[in-house]
Amino acid sequence: MSPLLREALLALTDRREPRPGAYERLRAVVIDELAETPEQSLHLPEPRDDRLRAVTDLLHADPGRTATLAELGRTVGASERTLSRLFHTELGMSFHRWRTILRVHHALVHLTDGRSVTETATECGWSNPSSFIEAFTEVVGQTPGRYQADLRGGAK
Given this model, what pLDDT does residue 26 score? 80
DSSP assignment string, the chain: --HHHHHHHHHHHS---SSTTHHHHHHHHHHHHHHHPPPP--------SHHHHHHHHHHHH-TT----HHHHHHHHT--HHHHHHHHHHHHSS-HHHHHHHHHHHHHHHHHHTT--HHHHHHHTT-SSHHHHHHHHHHHHSS-HHHHHHHHHHHH-
The predicted model scores a pTM of: 0.71
Given this model, what pLDDT does residue 156 score? 46
pLDDT < 50: residue spans in the chain: 38, 156
